[in-house]
Every structure is written in C-alpha cells, then in structure tokens.
Amino acid sequence: MRRPHWRKMTWVLILWSGAILAWAIGGAAANKCASQTGDAYLSAHTAQQACQAGTGIGVALILFVGFFGFLFFSLIWFMTRPKGRDCPVCGNKVKRGETACKNCSHDFAVAARAATA
C-alpha cells in the first residue's frame, strides 16, 4: 500500500491542528470547578461560575492562538508549493503549464490521453 506523499508543511499543519485540538480538550477537561467552595467574598455557586468562565476564556484563547498559527502555517504552505512536476521518463522538473519535457520530449498530453483510453 502506498503512503501519501505529502509535503512537509502539510504534516506541520496536521500536527499543529492536532496539538491545538488536544490542548483545548485537555484545558476544558482539566477544570476543577466542582471543588470550588467559595470564601468570605464569593459563595460556592459564584466561585464555580467564575471558575467555569475562566476555563471558557482559557479554551477560547487556545483556539485563538491555534487559528492564527494555522493561518501562518497555511501561508507558508501556499508560498512553498512546487513550481512544476517531475517527468516520469527522465525525472527532471517540468515547469507548470508546459506539456512536454525539454530534456526527453515526453509529451504529458499524449500520456494523459493514452491513460484514459
């Protein structure tokens, strides 16, 4: 079975998204708001609500950082995309838009028509 041949920045985007998702889920699950008992200034119910609001703000900040990191990595992904393709005959790079290899004269259009027939 062939493994997908993805670019390095594709893997970075996948790992970044997974890390942010795990961080947000971990942050939301790690709150211990049920153990808030209150004190002289806050009742137990108000202390639990404040704890839950703080957890919500923390998760929102994690997702905010994740979104802008994803935008940053996506821009790098778009700017580093390949400028051509490999010739299947000689292995040299062929610029985007060209239909024939300059080295070996392999015609991509003829090969595509033969593959679909």
Residue 28 C-alpha from the chain's centroid: 21
C-alpha 42/C-alpha 110 separation (Å) is 78
pLDDT at 22: 96
Phi, psi (degrees; rounded to nearest 5) at 80: -105, 15
CA dist 28 and 18 (Å) reads 15
Residues of the chain with pLDDT under 70: 1-4, 117
Q: What residue segments make up the domains of the chain, in order of their start? A: 1-81, 84-117
pLDDT confidence of residue 86:
83
pLDDT at 85: 81
pLDDT at 100: 87
Q: Classify 107 as helix, strand or coil.
A: strand
**How close are the terminal C-alpha atoms of the chain, in Å?**
25
- Predicted confidence at residue 117, as pLDDT, reads 67
